[in-house]
């Protein structure tokens, strides 16, 4: 994947995450500035996404740590490059549930 393709897919993913939050009904505020998406929870904790073009990765920082995601072109999913290779929306739902203190289900489009 070249830089242009990465940017297009990553930007669409950032938009899709915002749509998933809106569709979930969860009490999560978000703000996107310059390609960095910040989710803020009622307790003030945050999850932050940033695009890392040089690495062709999305990075996510949460209360529980930092995670890097590679795009799998075959499955068209972002997969965490460590641990059990968790898919982005599955991990985001799990971490959002932990930080929100209530069930949060975020689905890919």
pTM > 0.75: yes or no: yes
Q: What is the model's pLDDT at position 17?
A: 97
User: What is the percentage of the chain residues whose pLDDT exceeds 90?
Assistant: 90
Residue 92 has pLDDT above 90, yes or no: yes
- Residue 95: closest CA among 64, 59, 51, 49: 64
What mean pLDDT do residues 11-31 have? 95
CB 10 within 8 A of CB 50: no
Tell me the two tokens of residue 34. 């310059």
The domain ranges of the chain are 3-100
Alpha-carbon distances, residue 69 vs 59, 64, 82, 102 (angstroms)? 6, 16, 9, 25
Q: What is the dihedral of CA 83, 89, 93, 95, to 10 degrees?
A: 40
pLDDT at 65 (0 to 100): 94
Domain 3-100 has CATH 3.40.50.880: no
């Amino acid at each position: 994947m070249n830089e242009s393709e990465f940017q297009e897919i990553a930007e669409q993913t950032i938009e899709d995450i915002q749509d998933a939050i809106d569709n979930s009904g969860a009490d999560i505020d978000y703000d996107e500035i310059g390609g960095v998406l910040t989710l803020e929870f009622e307790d003030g904790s945050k999850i932050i996404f940033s695009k890392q073009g040089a690495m062709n990765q999305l990075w996510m920082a949460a209360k529980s740590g930092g995670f890097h995601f590679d795009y799998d072109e075959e499955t068209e999913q972002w997969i965490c490059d460590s641990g059990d290779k968790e898919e982005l929306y599955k991990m985001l739902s799990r971490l959002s549930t932990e930080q929100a203190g209530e069930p949060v289900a975020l689905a890919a489009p």
